[in-house]
Chain A
Amino acid sequence: MLKRREEEQPWLRPAGADDLGLRRALAAPLLGALVGAMAFLAALSVAGFLASAEVAAHWQQGAGASLTVQVPHPGAMAGLHTRREAVLAALQATPGLASVRALSEAELADLLRPWLGPDAERLSLPLPAVVAVRLAAPGGVDLAALNAKLQSVAPGTLVEREDIWAMRLAKLARSLELTAGAVLVVVALVAAAVVAVATRAGLSARREAIETVHGLGATDGYIAARFSARITRLAAAGGLLGALLAMPVLMGLSWLAMPFLRGSMEAASATPEEPHWTALLPPELWLLLVVLPVVTAGIGWLTAQATVRQWLRRLP
Protein backbone atom coordinates (compact mmCIF):
# COMPACT_ATOMS: atom_id res chain seq x y z
CA MET A 1 0.00 0.00 0.00
CA LEU A 2 2.81 2.33 0.96
CA LYS A 3 4.67 1.47 -2.21
CA ARG A 4 1.55 2.08 -4.25
CA ARG A 5 1.10 5.51 -2.70
CA GLU A 6 4.69 6.38 -3.44
CA GLU A 7 4.19 5.23 -7.00
CA GLU A 8 1.44 7.85 -7.24
CA GLN A 9 4.11 10.31 -6.07
CA PRO A 10 2.24 12.11 -3.33
CA TRP A 11 5.48 13.99 -2.58
CA LEU A 12 5.51 15.66 -5.97
CA ARG A 13 4.71 19.28 -6.40
CA PRO A 14 1.65 20.11 -8.45
CA ALA A 15 2.26 21.83 -11.75
CA GLY A 16 2.82 25.55 -11.33
CA ALA A 17 4.04 25.12 -7.80
CA ASP A 18 6.93 26.95 -6.23
CA ASP A 19 9.49 26.21 -8.98
CA LEU A 20 11.61 29.22 -8.06
CA GLY A 21 11.63 28.63 -4.31
CA LEU A 22 9.86 31.90 -3.62
CA ARG A 23 8.34 30.77 -0.33
CA ARG A 24 11.76 31.17 1.21
CA ALA A 25 12.98 34.03 -0.96
CA LEU A 26 10.03 36.32 -0.26
CA ALA A 27 9.71 36.66 3.50
CA ALA A 28 6.03 36.45 4.37
CA PRO A 29 5.93 38.08 7.85
CA LEU A 30 7.74 41.28 6.91
CA LEU A 31 5.96 41.93 3.62
CA GLY A 32 2.57 40.98 5.09
CA ALA A 33 3.10 43.27 8.08
CA LEU A 34 4.20 46.21 5.93
CA VAL A 35 1.27 45.84 3.54
CA GLY A 36 -0.99 45.39 6.56
CA ALA A 37 0.25 48.70 8.00
CA MET A 38 -0.37 50.41 4.66
CA ALA A 39 -3.86 48.90 4.47
CA PHE A 40 -4.59 50.13 8.01
CA LEU A 41 -3.54 53.67 7.09
CA ALA A 42 -5.52 53.48 3.84
CA ALA A 43 -8.63 52.44 5.77
CA LEU A 44 -8.23 55.40 8.10
CA SER A 45 -7.71 57.87 5.26
CA VAL A 46 -10.72 56.55 3.31
CA ALA A 47 -12.79 56.75 6.49
CA GLY A 48 -11.57 60.33 6.99
CA PHE A 49 -12.53 61.14 3.41
CA LEU A 50 -16.02 59.69 3.79
CA ALA A 51 -16.57 61.23 7.22
CA SER A 52 -15.57 64.74 6.17
CA ALA A 53 -17.83 64.49 3.12
CA GLU A 54 -20.69 63.25 5.29
CA VAL A 55 -20.26 65.89 7.97
CA ALA A 56 -19.99 68.62 5.36
CA ALA A 57 -23.16 67.44 3.65
CA HIS A 58 -25.11 67.36 6.93
CA TRP A 59 -23.93 70.71 8.17
CA GLN A 60 -24.22 72.35 4.78
CA GLN A 61 -27.75 71.09 4.42
CA GLY A 62 -28.68 72.27 7.91
CA ALA A 63 -27.09 75.71 7.72
CA GLY A 64 -27.88 76.32 4.08
CA ALA A 65 -31.55 75.68 4.65
CA SER A 66 -32.13 78.27 7.35
CA LEU A 67 -32.40 82.07 7.71
CA THR A 68 -32.54 84.40 10.67
CA VAL A 69 -34.73 87.49 10.42
CA GLN A 70 -34.24 90.35 12.89
CA VAL A 71 -37.04 92.92 13.28
CA PRO A 72 -35.92 96.10 15.08
CA HIS A 73 -38.60 97.84 17.15
CA PRO A 74 -40.88 94.85 16.94
CA GLY A 75 -43.66 96.46 18.99
CA ALA A 76 -43.97 99.59 16.81
CA MET A 77 -47.02 99.70 14.62
CA ALA A 78 -46.85 99.13 10.92
CA GLY A 79 -50.35 99.81 9.72
CA LEU A 80 -52.89 97.71 11.65
CA HIS A 81 -50.29 95.33 13.10
CA THR A 82 -47.01 95.53 14.93
CA ARG A 83 -43.85 95.32 12.82
CA ARG A 84 -43.22 91.84 14.29
CA GLU A 85 -46.69 90.63 13.26
CA ALA A 86 -46.35 92.22 9.82
CA VAL A 87 -43.04 90.48 9.17
CA LEU A 88 -44.38 87.14 10.42
CA ALA A 89 -47.41 87.47 8.16
CA ALA A 90 -45.25 88.35 5.18
CA LEU A 91 -42.97 85.39 5.85
CA GLN A 92 -45.87 82.97 6.26
CA ALA A 93 -47.25 84.12 2.94
CA THR A 94 -43.90 83.45 1.20
CA PRO A 95 -43.75 80.16 -0.73
CA GLY A 96 -40.74 77.83 -0.26
CA LEU A 97 -40.49 78.20 3.51
CA ALA A 98 -40.84 75.06 5.64
CA SER A 99 -41.34 76.82 8.96
CA VAL A 100 -41.45 80.32 10.41
CA ARG A 101 -41.07 80.65 14.16
CA ALA A 102 -40.56 83.76 16.26
CA LEU A 103 -38.18 83.16 19.16
CA SER A 104 -39.71 83.75 22.57
CA GLU A 105 -38.21 86.29 24.98
CA ALA A 106 -36.80 83.44 27.04
CA GLU A 107 -35.08 81.99 23.98
CA LEU A 108 -33.67 85.42 23.14
CA ALA A 109 -32.36 85.76 26.69
CA ASP A 110 -30.70 82.35 26.34
CA LEU A 111 -28.97 83.51 23.17
CA LEU A 112 -27.77 86.75 24.78
CA ARG A 113 -26.72 85.28 28.12
CA PRO A 114 -23.16 84.43 27.02
CA TRP A 115 -22.58 88.12 26.17
CA LEU A 116 -24.82 90.04 28.57
CA GLY A 117 -24.90 87.76 31.60
CA PRO A 118 -27.82 86.15 33.49
CA ASP A 119 -29.82 89.38 33.82
CA ALA A 120 -30.10 90.12 30.14
CA GLU A 121 -33.89 90.30 30.11
CA ARG A 122 -33.87 92.93 32.90
CA LEU A 123 -31.53 95.38 31.15
CA SER A 124 -34.40 97.03 29.22
CA LEU A 125 -32.40 97.00 26.03
CA PRO A 126 -34.36 97.59 22.82
CA LEU A 127 -34.04 94.04 21.56
CA PRO A 128 -35.19 93.09 18.08
CA ALA A 129 -37.57 90.25 17.46
CA VAL A 130 -35.83 87.25 16.00
CA VAL A 131 -37.59 84.90 13.61
CA ALA A 132 -36.07 81.52 12.74
CA VAL A 133 -36.96 80.49 9.21
CA ARG A 134 -36.36 77.06 7.71
CA LEU A 135 -36.35 76.77 3.96
CA ALA A 136 -38.04 73.86 2.30
CA ALA A 137 -34.81 73.32 0.36
CA PRO A 138 -31.39 75.03 0.41
CA GLY A 139 -31.43 77.93 -2.03
CA GLY A 140 -35.14 77.45 -2.62
CA VAL A 141 -36.04 81.08 -2.00
CA ASP A 142 -35.08 84.28 -3.80
CA LEU A 143 -33.44 86.07 -0.87
CA ALA A 144 -33.25 89.47 -2.62
CA ALA A 145 -36.99 89.42 -3.31
CA LEU A 146 -37.72 88.29 0.26
CA ASN A 147 -35.55 91.05 1.67
CA ALA A 148 -37.31 93.66 -0.44
CA LYS A 149 -40.69 92.36 0.62
CA LEU A 150 -39.78 92.51 4.32
CA GLN A 151 -38.32 95.99 3.95
CA SER A 152 -41.60 97.16 2.49
CA VAL A 153 -43.65 95.92 5.45
CA ALA A 154 -41.08 96.73 8.17
CA PRO A 155 -38.17 98.91 7.07
CA GLY A 156 -34.84 98.05 8.73
CA THR A 157 -35.58 94.31 8.98
CA LEU A 158 -32.43 92.23 8.58
CA VAL A 159 -32.30 88.87 6.82
CA GLU A 160 -29.17 86.90 7.72
CA ARG A 161 -28.08 84.02 5.54
CA GLU A 162 -26.54 81.20 7.49
CA ASP A 163 -25.18 79.57 4.37
CA ILE A 164 -22.03 81.71 4.71
CA TRP A 165 -21.09 79.32 7.51
CA ALA A 166 -22.12 76.47 5.31
CA MET A 167 -19.75 77.68 2.61
CA ARG A 168 -16.89 77.92 5.08
CA LEU A 169 -17.69 74.46 6.36
CA ALA A 170 -17.83 73.19 2.81
CA LYS A 171 -14.36 74.63 2.13
CA LEU A 172 -12.99 73.04 5.28
CA ALA A 173 -14.61 69.73 4.42
CA ARG A 174 -13.28 69.88 0.85
CA SER A 175 -9.78 70.52 2.18
CA LEU A 176 -10.10 67.55 4.53
CA GLU A 177 -11.34 65.39 1.65
CA LEU A 178 -8.41 66.41 -0.55
CA THR A 179 -5.96 65.77 2.28
CA ALA A 180 -7.44 62.33 2.92
CA GLY A 181 -7.32 61.58 -0.81
CA ALA A 182 -3.68 62.66 -1.00
CA VAL A 183 -2.83 60.50 2.01
CA LEU A 184 -4.57 57.58 0.32
CA VAL A 185 -2.54 58.05 -2.87
CA VAL A 186 0.71 58.30 -0.88
CA VAL A 187 -0.18 55.17 1.09
CA ALA A 188 -0.91 53.27 -2.14
CA LEU A 189 2.39 54.42 -3.65
CA VAL A 190 4.32 53.43 -0.52
CA ALA A 191 2.61 50.01 -0.57
CA ALA A 192 3.61 49.58 -4.22
CA ALA A 193 7.18 50.64 -3.38
CA VAL A 194 7.33 48.14 -0.52
CA VAL A 195 6.13 45.37 -2.84
CA ALA A 196 8.62 46.44 -5.53
CA VAL A 197 11.52 46.35 -3.06
CA ALA A 198 10.46 42.92 -1.78
CA THR A 199 10.10 41.64 -5.34
CA ARG A 200 13.56 42.94 -6.27
CA ALA A 201 15.00 41.25 -3.19
CA GLY A 202 13.33 38.02 -4.32
CA LEU A 203 14.71 38.46 -7.83
CA SER A 204 18.23 38.92 -6.46
CA ALA A 205 17.90 35.92 -4.15
CA ARG A 206 16.65 33.68 -6.97
CA ARG A 207 18.70 35.11 -9.82
CA GLU A 208 20.36 31.80 -10.71
CA ALA A 209 17.09 29.86 -10.61
CA ILE A 210 15.43 32.51 -12.80
CA GLU A 211 18.26 32.39 -15.32
CA THR A 212 18.00 28.59 -15.37
CA VAL A 213 14.25 28.47 -16.05
CA HIS A 214 14.68 31.31 -18.55
CA GLY A 215 17.26 29.17 -20.31
CA LEU A 216 14.84 26.25 -20.32
CA GLY A 217 12.34 28.30 -22.29
CA ALA A 218 10.29 30.02 -19.60
CA THR A 219 8.60 33.15 -20.91
CA ASP A 220 8.53 36.44 -19.01
CA GLY A 221 4.89 35.70 -18.25
CA TYR A 222 5.76 32.32 -16.70
CA ILE A 223 8.36 33.81 -14.37
CA ALA A 224 6.30 36.92 -13.56
CA ALA A 225 3.30 34.71 -12.76
CA ARG A 226 5.32 32.80 -10.13
CA PHE A 227 6.32 36.03 -8.43
CA SER A 228 2.95 37.72 -8.69
CA ALA A 229 1.13 34.64 -7.36
CA ARG A 230 3.27 34.64 -4.24
CA ILE A 231 3.21 38.44 -3.81
CA THR A 232 -0.55 38.61 -4.40
CA ARG A 233 -1.20 36.09 -1.63
CA LEU A 234 1.04 37.97 0.79
CA ALA A 235 -0.46 41.36 -0.14
CA ALA A 236 -4.01 40.01 0.26
CA ALA A 237 -3.09 38.61 3.67
CA GLY A 238 -1.57 41.98 4.59
CA GLY A 239 -4.71 43.76 3.40
CA LEU A 240 -6.88 41.44 5.48
CA LEU A 241 -4.70 42.08 8.52
CA GLY A 242 -4.93 45.84 7.99
CA ALA A 243 -8.72 45.64 7.58
CA LEU A 244 -9.10 43.61 10.76
CA LEU A 245 -6.93 46.07 12.69
CA ALA A 246 -8.80 49.08 11.26
CA MET A 247 -12.28 47.69 12.02
CA PRO A 248 -12.37 48.35 15.81
CA VAL A 249 -10.68 51.73 15.36
CA LEU A 250 -13.22 52.81 12.74
CA MET A 251 -16.08 51.52 14.87
CA GLY A 252 -14.87 53.59 17.80
CA LEU A 253 -14.45 56.74 15.70
CA SER A 254 -17.78 56.17 13.99
CA TRP A 255 -19.52 55.81 17.34
CA LEU A 256 -18.00 59.11 18.52
CA ALA A 257 -18.88 60.89 15.26
CA MET A 258 -22.42 59.52 15.05
CA PRO A 259 -24.10 62.43 16.93
CA PHE A 260 -22.51 65.00 14.62
CA LEU A 261 -23.96 63.27 11.59
CA ARG A 262 -27.52 63.86 12.79
CA GLY A 263 -27.51 67.37 11.45
CA SER A 264 -28.44 69.47 14.45
CA MET A 265 -26.72 70.87 17.48
CA GLU A 266 -29.42 69.37 19.72
CA ALA A 267 -28.71 65.92 18.36
CA ALA A 268 -24.97 66.47 18.55
CA SER A 269 -25.12 67.29 22.22
CA ALA A 270 -27.28 64.27 23.02
CA THR A 271 -25.71 61.28 24.74
CA PRO A 272 -24.74 58.61 22.15
CA GLU A 273 -26.96 55.57 22.12
CA GLU A 274 -25.72 51.99 22.05
CA PRO A 275 -26.40 50.78 18.49
CA HIS A 276 -25.93 47.22 17.26
CA TRP A 277 -22.27 46.63 16.39
CA THR A 278 -23.01 46.17 12.70
CA ALA A 279 -24.70 49.57 12.65
CA LEU A 280 -21.56 51.24 14.01
CA LEU A 281 -20.10 51.46 10.54
CA PRO A 282 -21.92 52.83 7.52
CA PRO A 283 -22.24 50.46 4.54
CA GLU A 284 -19.47 52.30 2.67
CA LEU A 285 -16.95 51.47 5.40
CA TRP A 286 -18.05 47.83 5.60
CA LEU A 287 -17.56 47.67 1.85
CA LEU A 288 -14.14 49.32 2.24
CA LEU A 289 -13.04 46.69 4.77
CA VAL A 290 -14.15 43.89 2.46
CA VAL A 291 -12.55 45.46 -0.62
CA LEU A 292 -9.27 46.40 1.09
CA PRO A 293 -7.60 42.93 0.77
CA VAL A 294 -8.70 42.78 -2.86
CA VAL A 295 -7.16 46.20 -3.56
CA THR A 296 -3.87 45.34 -1.80
CA ALA A 297 -3.80 42.05 -3.72
CA GLY A 298 -4.31 44.02 -6.94
CA ILE A 299 -1.51 46.45 -6.08
CA GLY A 300 0.72 43.46 -5.24
CA TRP A 301 -0.06 41.65 -8.50
CA LEU A 302 0.45 44.71 -10.69
CA THR A 303 3.65 45.80 -8.95
CA ALA A 304 5.15 42.30 -9.01
CA GLN A 305 4.31 41.83 -12.68
CA ALA A 306 5.81 45.20 -13.64
CA THR A 307 8.93 44.74 -11.49
CA VAL A 308 9.68 41.21 -12.69
CA ARG A 309 9.03 41.96 -16.36
CA GLN A 310 11.27 45.04 -16.20
CA TRP A 311 14.03 43.03 -14.48
CA LEU A 312 13.78 40.24 -17.04
CA ARG A 313 14.48 42.63 -19.89
CA ARG A 314 18.18 42.36 -19.04
CA LEU A 315 18.03 38.76 -20.25
CA PRO A 316 17.88 38.10 -24.02
Chain B
Amino acid sequence: MIRCERVSLRYSLKDGPDVLRELSFEVPEGGFRWLLGPSGAGKTSLLRLLYLAARPTSGRLSVLGTDIGSASRSKLALLRRRIGVVFQDFRLLPHLSAFDNVALPLRISGRPEGQIRADVNEMLRWVGLYALRHVTPPALSGGEQQRVAIARAVISRPDILLADEPTGNLDEVQAQRLLQLFHELNRLGTTVIVATHNIGLVQDYPAPTLRLQAGRLVEERVTEDA
Protein backbone atom coordinates (compact mmCIF):
# COMPACT_ATOMS: atom_id res chain seq x y z
CA MET B 1 0.00 0.00 0.00
CA ILE B 2 2.66 2.53 1.11
CA ARG B 3 6.32 1.66 0.83
CA CYS B 4 9.22 4.04 1.52
CA GLU B 5 12.74 2.91 0.63
CA ARG B 6 15.48 5.33 1.68
CA VAL B 7 13.26 8.28 0.74
CA SER B 8 14.68 11.79 1.11
CA LEU B 9 13.03 15.12 0.37
CA ARG B 10 14.65 18.46 -0.27
CA TYR B 11 12.56 21.49 -1.21
CA SER B 12 15.38 23.42 -2.82
CA LEU B 13 17.27 21.24 -5.23
CA LYS B 14 20.37 23.48 -5.23
CA ASP B 15 21.63 23.84 -1.71
CA GLY B 16 18.69 23.38 0.63
CA PRO B 17 18.84 20.85 3.47
CA ASP B 18 17.06 17.50 3.35
CA VAL B 19 13.81 17.90 5.30
CA LEU B 20 13.40 14.11 5.20
CA ARG B 21 16.38 11.79 5.24
CA GLU B 22 16.41 8.23 4.01
CA LEU B 23 13.10 7.15 5.45
CA SER B 24 12.27 3.49 5.09
CA PHE B 25 9.02 2.00 6.31
CA GLU B 26 5.96 0.20 5.04
CA VAL B 27 2.27 0.57 5.82
CA PRO B 28 0.16 -2.35 4.60
CA GLU B 29 -3.33 -2.05 3.17
CA GLY B 30 -5.79 -1.36 5.97
CA GLY B 31 -3.02 -0.30 8.37
CA PHE B 32 -3.24 2.50 10.95
CA ARG B 33 -0.25 4.62 11.95
CA TRP B 34 0.22 7.47 14.36
CA LEU B 35 2.83 9.87 13.01
CA LEU B 36 4.60 11.47 15.96
CA GLY B 37 7.43 13.91 16.51
CA PRO B 38 8.14 17.44 17.65
CA SER B 39 7.37 20.49 15.52
CA GLY B 40 9.76 20.70 12.57
CA ALA B 41 10.50 16.98 12.68
CA GLY B 42 9.14 16.51 9.13
CA LYS B 43 5.65 15.13 9.79
CA THR B 44 3.93 17.55 7.42
CA SER B 45 6.64 17.01 4.79
CA LEU B 46 6.15 13.25 4.99
CA LEU B 47 2.39 13.71 4.63
CA ARG B 48 3.03 15.98 1.60
CA LEU B 49 4.94 13.12 0.01
CA LEU B 50 2.17 10.68 0.85
CA TYR B 51 -0.64 12.84 -0.55
CA LEU B 52 1.50 13.37 -3.65
CA ALA B 53 2.10 17.12 -3.28
CA ALA B 54 5.82 16.44 -3.81
CA ARG B 55 8.00 13.75 -5.31
CA PRO B 56 10.91 12.31 -3.37
CA THR B 57 14.30 13.83 -4.12
CA SER B 58 15.87 10.40 -3.79
CA GLY B 59 14.84 6.90 -2.80
CA ARG B 60 11.76 5.04 -3.90
CA LEU B 61 8.23 5.80 -2.75
CA SER B 62 5.38 3.53 -3.77
CA VAL B 63 1.78 4.50 -3.00
CA LEU B 64 -1.16 2.28 -3.97
CA GLY B 65 1.20 0.22 -6.08
CA THR B 66 2.53 3.16 -8.10
CA ASP B 67 6.11 4.43 -8.07
CA ILE B 68 5.62 8.14 -7.31
CA GLY B 69 9.03 9.19 -8.58
CA SER B 70 8.33 8.06 -12.12
CA ALA B 71 4.51 8.27 -12.40
CA SER B 72 3.05 10.67 -14.96
CA ARG B 73 1.22 13.80 -13.82
CA SER B 74 -2.11 12.43 -15.01
CA LYS B 75 -1.50 9.18 -13.14
CA LEU B 76 -0.74 11.13 -9.96
CA ALA B 77 -3.99 13.10 -10.36
CA LEU B 78 -5.98 9.86 -10.51
CA LEU B 79 -4.10 8.50 -7.48
CA ARG B 80 -4.89 11.63 -5.45
CA ARG B 81 -8.61 10.86 -5.85
CA ARG B 82 -8.00 7.72 -3.79
CA ILE B 83 -6.34 9.66 -0.98
CA GLY B 84 -8.30 11.75 1.53
CA VAL B 85 -6.46 14.49 3.38
CA VAL B 86 -7.41 16.53 6.45
CA PHE B 87 -5.13 19.54 6.42
CA GLN B 88 -3.99 21.37 9.51
CA ASP B 89 -5.19 24.65 7.95
CA PHE B 90 -8.37 23.05 6.46
CA ARG B 91 -7.77 24.41 2.92
CA LEU B 92 -11.43 24.99 2.24
CA LEU B 93 -12.41 27.12 -0.75
CA PRO B 94 -13.79 30.32 0.81
CA HIS B 95 -16.16 31.16 -2.07
CA LEU B 96 -17.91 27.78 -1.97
CA SER B 97 -20.61 26.72 0.50
CA ALA B 98 -19.96 23.93 2.98
CA PHE B 99 -21.98 21.63 0.70
CA ASP B 100 -19.92 22.53 -2.37
CA ASN B 101 -16.64 22.14 -0.48
CA VAL B 102 -17.61 18.64 0.58
CA ALA B 103 -18.94 17.83 -2.89
CA LEU B 104 -15.75 19.00 -4.61
CA PRO B 105 -13.84 15.66 -4.63
CA LEU B 106 -16.89 13.91 -6.08
CA ARG B 107 -17.33 16.54 -8.78
CA ILE B 108 -13.64 16.41 -9.66
CA SER B 109 -13.88 12.66 -10.10
CA GLY B 110 -16.89 13.15 -12.37
CA ARG B 111 -19.64 11.71 -10.15
CA PRO B 112 -23.15 12.59 -11.47
CA GLU B 113 -24.78 15.46 -9.57
CA GLY B 114 -27.79 13.36 -8.66
CA GLN B 115 -25.61 10.90 -6.73
CA ILE B 116 -23.58 13.63 -5.09
CA ARG B 117 -26.45 15.30 -3.22
CA ALA B 118 -27.52 12.35 -1.13
CA ASP B 119 -23.96 11.41 -0.15
CA VAL B 120 -22.94 14.96 0.73
CA ASN B 121 -26.10 15.63 2.75
CA GLU B 122 -25.58 12.40 4.65
CA MET B 123 -21.98 13.33 5.40
CA LEU B 124 -22.96 16.84 6.50
CA ARG B 125 -25.59 15.38 8.82
CA TRP B 126 -22.96 13.07 10.27
CA VAL B 127 -20.58 15.95 11.07
CA GLY B 128 -23.51 18.02 12.36
CA LEU B 129 -23.36 20.71 9.71
CA TYR B 130 -26.41 19.96 7.57
CA ALA B 131 -28.15 23.10 8.83
CA LEU B 132 -25.11 25.15 7.78
CA ARG B 133 -24.66 23.49 4.40
CA HIS B 134 -25.20 26.72 2.47
CA VAL B 135 -22.79 28.76 4.62
CA THR B 136 -19.36 29.62 3.28
CA PRO B 137 -16.24 28.83 5.39
CA PRO B 138 -15.46 32.41 6.45
CA ALA B 139 -18.80 32.43 8.30
CA LEU B 140 -18.04 29.15 10.12
CA SER B 141 -16.09 28.71 13.35
CA GLY B 142 -12.70 26.97 13.34
CA GLY B 143 -14.23 23.74 14.61
CA GLU B 144 -16.98 23.84 11.99
CA GLN B 145 -14.43 24.43 9.26
CA GLN B 146 -12.46 21.48 10.59
CA ARG B 147 -15.54 19.28 10.34
CA VAL B 148 -16.18 20.43 6.77
CA ALA B 149 -12.58 19.56 5.93
CA ILE B 150 -12.99 16.12 7.50
CA ALA B 151 -16.22 15.52 5.60
CA ARG B 152 -14.47 16.51 2.36
CA ALA B 153 -11.58 14.12 3.10
CA VAL B 154 -13.77 11.07 3.64
CA ILE B 155 -16.69 11.75 1.26
CA SER B 156 -15.14 9.72 -1.54
CA ARG B 157 -14.33 6.71 0.73
CA PRO B 158 -10.58 6.97 0.07
CA ASP B 159 -8.17 4.04 0.12
CA ILE B 160 -5.76 6.14 2.18
CA LEU B 161 -6.71 8.79 4.73
CA LEU B 162 -4.05 11.23 5.90
CA ALA B 163 -4.65 13.75 8.66
CA ASP B 164 -2.36 16.50 9.90
CA GLU B 165 -3.28 17.51 13.47
CA PRO B 166 -6.96 16.86 12.78
CA THR B 167 -8.15 17.46 16.32
CA GLY B 168 -6.38 20.77 16.82
CA ASN B 169 -9.55 22.84 16.59
CA LEU B 170 -12.01 20.32 18.02
CA ASP B 171 -13.33 19.93 21.54
CA GLU B 172 -12.85 16.63 23.36
CA VAL B 173 -16.20 15.20 22.27
CA GLN B 174 -15.67 16.10 18.60
CA ALA B 175 -12.11 14.76 18.75
CA GLN B 176 -13.32 11.42 20.10
CA ARG B 177 -16.02 11.24 17.40
CA LEU B 178 -13.42 11.99 14.75
CA LEU B 179 -11.12 9.24 15.98
CA GLN B 180 -14.06 6.84 16.03
CA LEU B 181 -14.71 7.76 12.40
CA PHE B 182 -11.08 7.17 11.49
CA HIS B 183 -11.12 3.78 13.22
CA GLU B 184 -14.39 2.87 11.55
CA LEU B 185 -12.94 3.75 8.13
CA ASN B 186 -9.80 1.80 9.03
CA ARG B 187 -11.92 -1.18 10.04
CA LEU B 188 -13.60 -1.00 6.63
CA GLY B 189 -10.21 -1.20 4.91
CA THR B 190 -8.95 2.37 4.63
CA THR B 191 -5.28 2.89 5.44
CA VAL B 192 -5.05 5.74 7.97
CA ILE B 193 -2.06 7.85 8.98
CA VAL B 194 -2.62 10.60 11.55
CA ALA B 195 0.04 13.14 12.51
CA THR B 196 -0.56 14.52 15.98
CA HIS B 197 0.95 16.01 19.10
CA ASN B 198 -2.00 14.78 21.18
CA ILE B 199 -0.50 11.91 23.21
CA GLY B 200 -3.83 11.43 24.99
CA LEU B 201 -5.45 10.39 21.72
CA VAL B 202 -2.59 8.01 20.96
CA GLN B 203 -3.07 6.40 24.35
CA ASP B 204 -6.85 6.18 23.88
CA TYR B 205 -6.45 4.53 20.49
CA PRO B 206 -3.28 2.42 20.62
CA ALA B 207 -1.80 1.73 17.20
CA PRO B 208 1.62 1.41 15.54
CA THR B 209 3.61 4.62 15.46
CA LEU B 210 6.15 6.30 13.22
CA ARG B 211 8.27 8.78 15.16
CA LEU B 212 10.26 11.43 13.28
CA GLN B 213 13.01 13.65 14.56
CA ALA B 214 15.00 16.13 12.46
CA GLY B 215 13.74 14.49 9.26
CA ARG B 216 14.77 10.98 10.28
CA LEU B 217 12.62 8.05 11.29
CA VAL B 218 13.88 7.38 14.80
CA GLU B 219 11.33 4.84 15.88
CA GLU B 220 8.90 2.51 14.17
CA ARG B 221 6.84 0.71 16.76
CA VAL B 222 4.53 -1.96 15.46
CA THR B 223 2.42 -3.29 18.29
CA GLU B 224 -0.27 -4.93 16.20
CA ASP B 225 -0.49 -7.17 13.21
CA ALA B 226 -1.20 -4.07 11.16
- A residues sitting closer than 8 Å to B (CB atoms) are 9, 11-16, 18-21, 24, 208-209, 212-220, 222, 313, 316
> B53 touches which one: A16, A21, A215 (CB < 8 A)?
A215
Bound form: Cα–Cα A219–B110 in Å: 11
| Residue contacts A-B, CB under 8 angstroms, 22 given | A9-B117, A11-B134, A12-B97, A12-B99, A12-B117, A14-B113, A16-B107, A18-B95, A19-B107, A20-B93, A21-B96, A209-B95, A215-B53, A215-B85, A217-B78, A217-B105, A218-B108, A220-B74, A316-B54, A316-B55, A316-B73, A316-B76
Q: Interface SS of chain A: helix, strand, loop or mixed?
A: loop
Give chain B residues whose Cβ lies under 8 Å from the Cβ of A12: 97, 99-100, 117
Bound form: Cα–Cα A216–B94 in Å: 16
How far, in Å, is A148 (CB) from chain B's closest CB?
77
- Which of B80, B91, B95 has the most C-beta atoms of chain A within 10 angstroms of its own C-beta? B95
- Which of A15, A219, A316 has the most C-beta atoms of chain B within 10 angstroms of its own C-beta? A316
Bound form: Cα–Cα A310–B137 in Å: 30
> A217 touches which one: B80, B92, B99 (CB < 8 A)?
B80
> B77 touches which one: A11, A16, A217 (CB < 8 A)?
A217
Known: A316-B53, A316-B76. Is A217-B108 also a contact (CB below 8 A)? yes
How far, in Å, is B151 (CB) from chain A's closest CB?
13
> What class of interface size applies to chain B in its complex with A?
35 or more
Give chain B residues whose Cβ lies under 8 Å from the Cβ of A212: 91-93
Give chain A residues whose Cβ lies under 8 Å from the Cβ of B19: none
Q: Are A216 and B105 neighbours in the complex by a CB distance under 8 Å? A: yes
Bound form: Cα–Cα A215–B76 in Å: 10
Bound form: Cα–Cα A316–B51 in Å: 11
Q: Mark B106-139, 1 if CB is under 8 A from A, else 0.
A: 0111001100110000000000000000100000
Give chain A residues whose Cβ lies under 8 Å from the Cβ of B93: 19-21, 209, 212-213
Q: Are B100 and A13 neighbours in the complex by a CB distance under 8 Å? A: yes
How far, in Å, is B159 (CB) from chain A's closest CB?
12
Give chain B residues whose Cβ lies under 8 Å from the Cβ of A208: 91
Give chain B residues whose Cβ lies under 8 Å from the Cβ of A24: 95
Given contacts A216-B80, A216-B81, 10 further A-B contacts (CB under 8 A): A15-B113, A21-B94, A214-B77, A216-B104, A217-B77, A217-B80, A217-B109, A219-B74, A220-B73, A316-B55
Bound form: Cα–Cα A222–B109 in Å: 10
B170 CB within 8 Å of chain A? no
**CB-nearest residue of chain B to A20:** B93
How far, in Å, is A20 (CB) from chain B's closest CB?
8
> What 9 A-B pairs come out closest when comparing CB atoms?
A217-B81, A21-B95, A217-B80, A219-B77, A15-B113, A218-B108, A212-B91, A216-B105, A209-B93
Q: Are B104 and A19 neighbours in the complex by a CB distance under 8 Å? A: yes
How far, in Å, is A230 (CB) from chain B's closest CB?
14
Give chain B residues whose Cβ lies under 8 Å from the Cβ of A219: 74, 77-78
B175 CB within 8 Å of chain A? no
- Which of A217, A219, A222 has the most C-beta atoms of chain B within 10 angstroms of its own C-beta? A217
Give chain B residues whose Cβ lies under 8 Å from the Cβ of A14: 113
Q: Are B99 and A9 neighbours in the complex by a CB distance under 8 Å? A: yes
How far, in Å, is B219 (CB) from chain A's closest CB?
29
Give chain A residues whose Cβ lies under 8 Å from the Cβ of B214: none
How far, in Å, is A11 (CB) from chain B's closest CB?
5
Give chain A residues whose Cβ lies under 8 Å from the Cβ of B104: 19, 213, 216
Q: 8 Å CB contacts to A: which residues of B49-88?
A: 51-55, 73-74, 76-82, 85
Give chain A residues whose Cβ lies under 8 Å from the Cβ of B99: 9, 12
Bound form: Cα–Cα A21–B109 in Å: 19
Known: A19-B93, A19-B107, A209-B93. Is A215-B51 also a contact (CB below 8 A)? yes
Give chain B residues whose Cβ lies under 8 Å from the Cβ of A19: 93, 96, 100, 104, 107
Bound form: Cα–Cα A209–B137 in Å: 13
Bound form: Cα–Cα A212–B108 in Å: 11
Bound form: Cα–Cα A20–B117 in Å: 20
How far, in Å, is A126 (CB) from chain B's closest CB?
90
How far, in Å, is B69 (CB) from chain A's closest CB?
10
How far, in Å, is A41 (CB) from chain B's closest CB?
35
**CB-nearest residue of chain A to B106:** A15
Q: Are A218 and B77 neighbours in the complex by a CB distance under 8 Å? A: yes
How far, in Å, is B3 (CB) from chain A's closest CB?
18
Bound form: Cα–Cα A13–B52 in Å: 29
Give chain B residues whose Cβ lies under 8 Å from the Cβ of A214: 77, 80
Q: Are A316 and B108 neighbours in the complex by a CB distance under 8 Å? A: no
Bound form: Cα–Cα A314–B7 in Å: 21
